[in-house]
Amino acid sequence: MTDWQKSAWRDKPRVQMPDYTDAEALGTVEAQLSKYPPLVFAGEARTLRNELAAASRGDAFVLQGGDCAEAFDQFTADGIRDTFKVMLQMAMILTYGAKVPVVKIGRMAGQFAKPRSAPTEVRDGVELPSFRGDIINELDFTPEARTPDPKKMLQAYTQAAATLNLLRAFSTGGYADVHKVHSWTLGFTDSQEASKYREMASRISDTLDFMKAAGLESETNHNLKTVDFYTSHEALLLEYEEALCRLDSTSGKWLAGSGHMIWIGDRTRQPDGAHVEFARGVQNPIGLKCGPSLTPDDLKVLMERLNPANEAGRLTLIARFGAGKVEDHLPRLIETVRDAGANVTWVCDPMHGNTIKSATGYKTRPFESVLREVREFFAVHRAAGSVPGGVHFEMTGQDVTECTGGVYALSDENLSDRYHTACDPRLNASQSLELAFLVAEELTA
Ligand code: PEP
Ligand code: MN
């Protein structure tokens, strides 16, 4: 894109971004980040685009998952490892059940900035700016904590770099070797799902033993010993994104160096807005959240703007309507895509349309609603002859109690036990596995 500049978003209307009051401090941080190495490389983003293109045709399936918001004070190696492990388990369940390769994308190593439903929050008559994620301000309800601080971008970069470093080590250093399929289980998941998983793992092990005995598996089979694991986040804080944007010398195209895939949120997808302007110029795969208010006309313009060359794998449409509403909204968007002859990858986010307040006052999501939205997504695609290309979950490997339901029938009263999210409620490991088995069933139906 020759006419595009990484700073052009600054001339467009921006929403959901902080007003930094200290322009000098902001400039210093931006200058510093601009000199730091990018976190990802253009070749990786292109490989991911090819894999997403396969998913758009039904030749692969996307599994995107991780925290709603990564948090500075919950940053541990075990936390990263456990989410990685659950995603490997889920990918194994989907691959084994549906016989398709799974494209694994974490909401990790950069998922820090959050859009909010209100710019301020009032407590006991005191009004302060809303918490917008650790990269912007702090959760504590004090004027100091809620003031946006540009230096937090440097801490976010450092945490993202360390997270990605560990993910790369796990992916290629032996940990993700399929022969270790048994060892990815987590201590506390001794649920029905976990035993179902162990059964499947045993069958996979048997197959691997057979392949080896029959001379079908060479010692150096790279595909069995490593995985490709990608990172993604909502590109909300455009000062951070611009500072990490790099020109790729191989292709002469720009790259968002902050993560392999970036997405545009449901609240920031104005066709003439700042976020669309930034995303259209970088070569990374782009996600676009599609909520109930997205009109066919806007979708048409957005597809032209974000994917003018109509490349498969470039644009992923992430549907998030809420259980019971998929049929009201998805068909017209599928039709818009079809009429435009557009290549897109359809992914279902069954989380963001299903957030409710529990009787005990917690923000939660009923597992039943999550599952129902996934089923409706598959049914609408099937009826329309369109391809359901993947799923997008807020989930963690930690044994949290944030979403109700699931085989353990977590109730409103249980939510307070281990409610740790800094933002939206996540599926825990056992709920995630349960969902993976159910999605695998849908895929083979
Ligand atoms: C999110 O993915 O955390 C999010 C805020 O989603 P949406 O933009 O779809 O509401
Ligand atoms: Mn969220």
* ipTM value for the complex: 0.99
**Phi (first) and psi of residue 255, to 5 degrees:** -135, 135
Residue indicated by tokens 């259980």: 323
- Segment 69-89 shows an average pLDDT of 96
Which 3 state secondary structure label does DSSP give 150? coil
Cα separation of 396 and 240, whole Å? 25
Give the DSSP per-residue string, 301-353.
HHHHHH-TT--TTTEEEEE---TTTHHHHHHHHHHHHHHHT---EEEE--STT
| Residue 190: band (very low, low, confident or very high) from pLDDT cuts 50, 70, 90 | low
H/E segment holding residue 174: none
pLDDT at 193: 78
pLDDT at 210: 84
pLDDT at residue 393 is higher than 80: yes
Cα separation of 315 and 286, whole Å? 5
Give the DSSP per-residue string, 371-440.
HHHHHHHHHHHHHHT--EEEEEEEB-SS----SBBTTTTB-GGGGGTT---SSS--B-HHHHHHHHHHHH
Cα separation of 134 and 111, whole Å? 10
Return the closest-CA partner of residue 7 out of 21, 36, 27: 27
For ligand 1, which residues put their CB under 6 angstroms from it? Answer: 68, 115, 234, 265-267, 289, 320, 352, 424
Query: Which of 68, 105, 233, 266 has most ligand 1 atoms within 8 Å of CB, for mutation?
Result: 266
CA of 425 to the centre of ligand 1 (A): 12
Ligand 1 atom nearest residue 111's Cα: 3
pLDDT at residue 218 is higher than 80: no
**CA gyration radius, the chain:** 21
pLDDT in tens, 119-157: 999 999 999 999 999 999 999 999 999 999 999 999 999
Cα separation of 403 and 421, whole Å? 11
| Residue 219: band (very low, low, confident or very high) from pLDDT cuts 50, 70, 90 | low
pLDDT at residue 427 is higher than 80: yes
Cα separation of 365 and 353, whole Å? 9
Return the closest-CA partner of residue 113 out of 24, 31, 16: 16
Ligand 1 atom nearest residue 291's Cα: 9
Q: Please, which residues have CB within 8 angstroms of residue 350's CB and are 6 or more apart in sequence?
A: 320, 323, 369, 370, 371, 372, 373, 374, 377, 391, 393
| Residue 2: band (very low, low, confident or very high) from pLDDT cuts 50, 70, 90 | low
Residue pair 301/326 in contact by the 8 Å Cβ criterion:
no
- Segment 336-364 shows an average pLDDT of 97
Cα separation of 92 and 108, whole Å? 20
Q: Please, which residues have CB within 8 angstroms of residue 245's CB and are 6 or more apart in sequence?
A: 6, 254, 255, 256, 257, 282
pLDDT at 189: 60
CA of 66 to the centre of ligand 2 (A): 10
Pick the ligand that lies closest to the CA of residue 424: 2
Distance between terminal CA atoms of the chain? 42
pLDDT at residue 23 is higher than 70: yes
